């Protein structure tokens, strides 16, 4: 996701695009915005996420599919951009708007079921309502899981009041995608107020999400729910590079955990390439989590479909690993109908 100081690089791509080899491409972290939720956002997020600033964010139909076709993307898994319904204090309003946004998304998927799938947005401030909405969207609307955007008004998911959401996700056998949101206000004030550009996609989002992941691991939530699967984007939010040191310093001080910090991360988290189209970072991530736990993503429309596909198609990796990242891992994790080559459009 881009930050308020950097113009969006996305929008309609009218230039010549590299034609990728015939491998199915599923993009796992691709965003949209629902007007009803946008109206509740604070001034920072309204400016950051205005459709006039991020072309394509408010469109979930033919124009988006044209953009996918230009780059060679077969399927987008759509999710509502941050913070969704998580900052709304009124629980009834938050639940109603989350449901409305999910219904809006379900209609888009129904119109283009071969091109779109969906993650639910949840009103996490009211965990029981969030559980009901996760169950409704998965069981009745065919959603593939949910996306949670960071903290909920300063509260992180290691707080056990949120754990019914994880219990439901495990029971439904669907993943939770933990996506960045703006850093905690106190953190932003302490770290970033003098250099606000650091607080968003350039740095702050990754620090915030990586810290959130480590909090979850240390909380013991994965011991409580041993089949819970989660996903993080942006090539692992700095964690693949930092995991050795974090494990060495944290695991000996966490005797309550059944597994080490490192093993918990590798066993419970998948990582996507969203917004990071760099081969050294990919190779580092693959060496830590393995090719079975990496999934292709763009972070559209904050990033360019064409740039992501061009980079991915030219990677110097085994074709068997390319197929895993391109579609096989997503098909397994999200229980999508498998396809070994690009589907007819």
pLDDT in tens, 129-138: 999 999 999 9
50 φψ region: left (φ > 0), alpha (ψ -120 to 50), beta (else): beta
Lowest mean pLDDT among 49-53, 91-95, 206-210, 232-236: 49-53
Q: Is the pLDDT of residue 180 over 60?
A: yes
Cα dist from 225 to 12, 165, 169, 339, whole Å: 42, 11, 9, 31
Phi, psi of 217 (to 5 degrees): -60, -45
Total domains, the chain: 1
Residue position matching structure tokens 């964690």: 239
Q: What whole-number distance in Å separates Cα of residue 1 and Cα of residue 205?
A: 9
In a domain, 34, yes or no: yes
Q: Is the pLDDT of residue 215 over 80?
A: yes
167 Cβ neighbours under 8 A, 6+ residues apart: 131, 225
Q: What whole-number distance in Å separates Cα of residue 122 and Cα of residue 127?
A: 9
Domain span including residue 275: 26-334
For the stretch 247-290, pLDDT in tens is 999 999 999 999 999 999 999 999 999 999 999 999 999 999 99
Q: What's the whole-model pTM score?
A: 0.92
Catalytic center residues: 299
Q: What whole-number distance in Å separates Cα of residue 115 and Cα of residue 302?
A: 19
Which CATH number covers residue 223?
3.20.20.140
> What pLDDT does residue 257 have?
97
In a domain, 20, yes or no: no
In a domain, 16, yes or no: no
Calculate mean pLDDT across residues 36-41.
96
In a domain, 8, yes or no: no
Cα dist from 184 to 126, 152, 156, 209, whole Å: 19, 9, 10, 11
In a domain, 5, yes or no: no
Sheet with 294-295, strands from edge to edge, namely 120-121, 146-149, 176-179, 230-232, 269-272, 294-295
Q: Is the pLDDT of residue 7 over 50?
A: no
């Amino acid at each position: 996701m881009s930050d308020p100081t950097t113009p969006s690089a996305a929008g309609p791509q009218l230039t010549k695009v590299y034609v990728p080899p015939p491998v199915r491409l599923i993009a796992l972290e691709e965003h949209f915005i629902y007007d009803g939720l946008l109206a509740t956002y604070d001034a920072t997020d309204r400016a950051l996420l205005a459709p006039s600033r991020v072309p394509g964010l408010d469109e979930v139909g033919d124009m988006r599919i044209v953009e996918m076709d230009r780059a060679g993307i077969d399927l987008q898994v759509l999710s509502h951009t941050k913070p969704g319904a998580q900052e709304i204090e009124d629980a009834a309003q938050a639940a109603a708007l989350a449901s409305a946004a999910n219904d809006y998304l379900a209609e888009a998927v129904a119109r283009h079921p071969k091109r779109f799938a969906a993650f639910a947005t949840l009103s996490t401030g009211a965990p029981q309502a969030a559980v009901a909405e996760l169950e409704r969207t998965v069981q009745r609307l065919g959603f593939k899981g949910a996306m949670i955007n960071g903290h909920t008004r300063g509260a992180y998911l290691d707080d056990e009041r949120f754990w019914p959401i994880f219990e439901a996700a495990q029971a439904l056998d669907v993943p939770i995608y933990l996506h960045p949101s703006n850093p905690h206000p106190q953190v932003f004030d302490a770290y970033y107020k003098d250099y606000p550009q650091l607080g968003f996609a350039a740095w702050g989002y990754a620090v915030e999400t990586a810290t959130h992941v480590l909090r979850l691991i240390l909380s013991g939530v994965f011991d409580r729910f041993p089949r819970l699967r989660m996903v993080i984007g942006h090539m692992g939010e700095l964690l693949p590079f930092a995991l050795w040191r974090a494990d060495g310093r944290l695991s000996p001080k966490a005797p309550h955990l059944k597994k080490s910090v490192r093993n918990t991360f590798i066993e419970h988290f998948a990582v996507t390439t969203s917004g990071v189209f760099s081969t050294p970072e990919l190779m580092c991530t693959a060496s830590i989590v393995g090719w079975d736990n990496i999934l292709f993503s763009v972070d559209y429309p904050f990033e360019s479909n064409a740039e992501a596909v061009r980079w991915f198609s030219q990677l110097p990796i085994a074709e068997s690993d390319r197929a895993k990242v391109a579609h096989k891992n997503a098909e397994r994790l999200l229980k999508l109908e498998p396809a070994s080559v690009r589907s007819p459009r």
